Amino acid sequence: MAWVLLMAAIGVEVAASAALPRTQSFRDPLWTALVLGGYATSIWLLAVVVRQLPVSVAYAVWAGLGTAGMAAVGVLFLGEHLGALKAAALAMIVAGVVLLNLSGAH
In the structure, what pLDDT confidence band is assigned to residue 104 with cuts at 50, 70 and 90?
low
With contact defined as beta carbons under 8 Å apart, do 39 and 13 qualify? yes
Q: Is the pLDDT of residue 106 over 80?
A: no
Q: Which amino acid is at 38?
A: G
In angstroms, the CA 80 to CA 75 distance is: 5
In the structure, what pLDDT confidence band is assigned to residue 105 with cuts at 50, 70 and 90?
low
Neighbours of 9 (CB within 10 A): 24
Q: How far, in whole angstroms, is CA 77 from its chain's centroid?
A: 16
In the structure, what pLDDT confidence band is assigned to residue 101 with cuts at 50, 70 and 90?
confident
pLDDT, tens only, 61-92: 999 899 999 999 999 998 999 999 999 998 99
pLDDT, tens only, 1-59: 999 999 999 999 999 999 999 999 999 999 999 999 999 999 999 999 999 999 988 99
Helices (H) and strands (E) in the chain, counts: 4, 0
With contact defined as beta carbons under 8 Å apart, do 67 and 42 qualify? no
In angstroms, the CA 3 to CA 5 distance is: 5
